[in-house]
Amino acid sequence: MYKKLSIILILIIIGLTAYYNFYSTEKQIAIIDMERLIKDSGRANQLKILLQKKGEELKEEFENNDNQAENEEIDENQINIKYTQEKQEIEDQLNREIEQVIKEINKNNKYSVVLYKNRVYYGGEDITNEVAQLLDEKYYEAD
């Protein structure tokens, strides 16, 4: 009788220990301050300068074609569309690079969630500096 009771107690203890270990693992949440990342990262600044150069080139192209008054509105719309496309491509490139850096930082699955800071009121581990540093190491091309 005591053997059965002790076996049942041991099984209950094992079950509770397993349950506690499974559900008590603390999930880590990382946050990234995108405004600070874009301000501090050399790579983000490099892409911003590239976008400005593209904008200036498109402005020059528009001004050179300015002598045709009837096509001016069409040209201006085309220039705006080209600029928007260039901007979207550069933003997508930066987002892909940031995503790769975050994956590399989280290669050991330390974080279960990575959020943008502007939507987090409190908590989480700020990894902005680490992301900016690794982004620059991997993608920044010094002039």
> Can you tell me which residue has the tokens 């620059």?
136
Contact between 32 and 116 under an 8 Å Cβ cutoff? The reply is: yes
Instruction: Tell me how far apart the alpha carbons of residues 61 and 57 are, in angstroms, rounded to a whole number.
Output: 6
Q: pLDDT (tens digit, 9 = 90+) per residue, 68-122?
A: 555 666 677 888 888 899 999 999 999 999 999 999 988 877 888 888 888 777 7
107 DSSP assignment: T
Burial class (CB in 10 A: 0-12, 13-18, 19+), 119: exposed
Instruction: Tell me how far apart the alpha carbons of residues 94 and 138 are, in angstroms, rounded to a whole number.
Output: 12
Selected residue with higher pLDDT from 140 and 69: 140
Q: Mind listing the domains of the chain with CATH numbers?
A: 2-139 (3.30.910.20)
73 three-class SS: helix
Contact between 105 and 127 under an 8 Å Cβ cutoff? The reply is: yes
pLDDT at 13: 84
Q: pLDDT (tens digit, 9 = 90+) per residue, 2-46?
A: 777 778 878 888 877 777 666 655 668 889 998 999 899 999 999
**This model's pTM is above 0.85:** no
Q: pLDDT (tens digit, 9 = 90+) per residue, 47-72?
A: 999 999 988 888 887 777 655 555 66
112 three-class SS: strand
pLDDT at 71: 61
Structure tokens at 107: 């290669």
pLDDT at 114: 85
